[in-house]
Amino acid sequence: MTRYATRSAVEALVTPFQVHRDVYIDPEVYRLEMDHLFANTWVYVGHDSQVPNKGDYYTTQIGDQPVIMVRHSDGEVKVLYNRCPHKGTKIAIDRTGNTGKFFRCPYHAWSFKTDGCLLAIPLKKGYEGTGLDKTESGKGMKAVGAVKNYRGFVFARLNEEGIGFEEFFGGSLSSLDNMVDRSPAGRLEVAGQPLRYMHRCNWKMLVENQTDTCHPMVAHESSAGTAVKIWEEMGHDADAPKPAAMQIIAPFMSPYEFFEEMGIRTWPNGHGHTGVHHSIHSDYSEIPGYFDQMKEAYGEERAKEILGENRHNTVYFPNIMIKGPIQQLRNFIPLGPDKTLVESWIFRLVDAPEQLVARTAMYNRMINAPTSIVGHDDLEMYERAQEGLAADGLEWVNVQRLYDEGEDLEQEAVENGTTERQMRNQFHAWVKFMTATMPENLEAAE
Ligand code: FES
Ligand SMILES: [Fe+2]
């Protein structure tokens, strides 16, 4: 298992516009992603409204590392490895719960404060003079390297050293800002549990697809195309007012020109978004009373500015996507080289009309649910790609659309909305954060 364990071997997997198939299918590359990429980057953990009260916790994973997000007694959100420092037992098994003032391991009852510090050990005298207090285990549950709560969104970096939060995300935080600013109170709350949907494909296929604007009119013709056809057969004018479900699904069938003109913006470190000038979310009808609440909270000009931003999908590298105008977050959680758990979360805009979250929930059911009529189209493509990549005839995947020689992915740019620049941007960042902690060569590894 050392074929790819050096910096130069990983660098050779990505050219300016091609990606080697092993990036998607090779178990060693996947292992290296877990050890390096997911340890060196800022990975989304959860929203702080999932743990509103002290002692509330939520269990999830960063890469393949089991972690607990918990509200500590000082009100801060902590992220701890979900592992007892004694013999490794997972401390919390439930997805969510309240642990009170401390965690207690079910095996030998060591207990820990909600920031991980060791609180008590039964029959502690058995450790007197053994030096336990000088070991890692004697300190308690281990916290991850760094945590940042950005306007309610909790991100963590596993490694203690590495790129800072602001430097990693840079200008891309404007998309999260816009989603939060859409609440008159400037606050979001998760609305229930996410829709969870297992995909038998590599996690990066889902991330790439978020800014793939040349697939909707093709892959979704069977679902969205049928809906539009039936709508027209019912005798509706193209301009006739549409019910919410049609407002959501019809734009998937927009022509290439629509997607070309909507634009794509990319930021350094793998982040980017579709829908710079307009998007498939631009033409939703107004919800009565909402604009007045926004005007009251922000003033007319700022309210118009916030609601005038109609970004489509913003990818936060490595593995989430948000939709500001419709308050969604999708988390693409890797479970293996060919297995990904997709979580689709929705948010309530605090102090805004309930119809907004109703529309958001409708979008989630129609587009992202396991019972969606649209999501299957994408799933079919990912799974076919995963199978097709096993073919030995070709080794490379192509992401060359609108590529320019000399393209500088360390610079922010706005381009034609059908470019594959954001995919190239992701893989550029992939190499950067995979190799940051890898040895130059095998001798150095020893
Ligand atoms: S394994 Fe947790 S207390 Fe022993
Ligand atoms: Fe799609």
Residues of the chain with CATH 3.90.380.10: 173-433
Q: How far apart are CA 303 and CA 294, in angstroms?
A: 6
Pocket test for ligand 1, best of 82, 86, 141 (most atoms within 8 A of CB): 86
Q: Which ligand is nearest the CA of 109, by number?
A: 1
The CA 213 to ligand 2 mean position distance, Å, reads 9
**Cβ partners under 8 Å of residue 393, min gap 6:** none
Q: Which ligand is nearest the CA of 141, by number?
A: 1
CATH number of 44-150: 2.102.10.10
Q: Give the position, in ligand 1's atom list, of the atom nearest the Cα of 110.
A: 3
The candidate with the shortest Cα–Cα distance to 216, out of 160, 280, 266, is 280
The answer to whether 299 and 291 have CB atoms below 8 angstroms apart is: no
Tens of each residue's pLDDT in the chain, 446 residues: 589 999 999 999 999 999 999 999 999 999 999 999 999 999 999 999 999 999 999 999 999 999 999 999 999 999 999 999 999 999 999 999 999 999 999 999 999 999 999 999 999 999 999 999 999 999 999 999 999 999 999 999 999 999 999 999 999 999 999 999 999 999 999 999 999 999 999 999 999 999 999 999 999 999 999 999 999 999 998 778 899 999 999 999 999 999 999 999 999 999 999 999 999 999 999 999 999 999 999 999 999 999 999 999 999 999 999 999 999 999 999 999 999 999 999 999 999 999 999 999 999 999 999 999 899 999 999 999 999 999 999 999 999 999 999 999 999 999 999 999 999 999 999 999 999 999 887 666 55
The CA 57 to ligand 1 mean position distance, Å, reads 19
Q: How far apart are CA 161 and CA 175, in angstroms?
A: 26
Q: Give the position, in ligand 1's atom list, of the atom nearest the Cα of 108.
A: 3
Pocket test for ligand 1, best of 82, 103, 110, 121 (most atoms within 8 A of CB): 110
Question: Whose CA is closest to atom 1 on ligand 1?
Answer: 87
The CA 173 to ligand 2 mean position distance, Å, reads 24
The gap from C-alpha 122 to its chain's centroid, in whole angstroms, comes to 41
pLDDT value for 237: 81
- Pairing relationship of beta strands 195-199 and 339-349 according to DSSP bridges: antiparallel
The CA 66 to ligand 2 mean position distance, Å, reads 30
- Pairing relationship of beta strands 413-415 and 264-267 according to DSSP bridges: antiparallel
Q: Give the position, in ligand 1's atom list, of the atom nearest the Cα of 85.
A: 2
Q: Which ligand is nearest the CA of 121, by number?
A: 1
Question: Whose CA is closest to atom 3 on ligand 1?
Answer: 108
The CA 144 to ligand 1 mean position distance, Å, reads 20
Q: Which ligand is nearest the CA of 91, by number?
A: 1
pLDDT value for 70: 98
Find the residues whose C-beta lies inside 6 A of ligand 1: 84, 86-87, 89, 105, 107-108, 110
Superfamily designation of domain 173-433: Naphthalene 1,2-dioxygenase Alpha Subunit; Chain A, domain 1 (3.90.380.10)
pLDDT value for 238: 72
Per-residue three-class SS string for the chain: CCCCCCHHHHHCCECCCEEECHHHHCHHHHHHHHHHHHHHCCEEEEEHHHCCCCCEEEEEEECCEEEEEEECCCCCEEEEECCCCCCCCCCCCCCEEECCCEEECCCCCCEEECCCEEEECCCHHHHCCCCHHHCCHHHECCECCEEEEECCEEEEECCCCCCCHHHHHHHHHHHHHHHHHCCCCCCEEECCCCEEEEECCCHHHHHHHCCCCCCHHHHCHHHHHHHHHHHHHCCCCCCCCCCHHHHHHHHHHCCHHHHHHHCEEEEHHHEEEECCCCCCCCCCCCCCCHHHHHHHHHCHHHHHHHHHCCCCCEEECCCEEEEHHHCEEEEEEEEECCEEEEEEEEEEECCCCHHHHHHHHHHHHHHHCCCCCCHHHHHHHHHHHHHHCCCCCCCEEECCCCCCCCCCCCCCEEECCCCCHHHHHHHHHHHHHHHCCCCCCHHHHC
Q: Give the position, in ligand 1's atom list, of the atom nearest the Cα of 109.
A: 3
Residues of the chain with CATH 2.102.10.10: 44-150
Question: Whose CA is closest to atom 4 on ligand 1?
Answer: 108
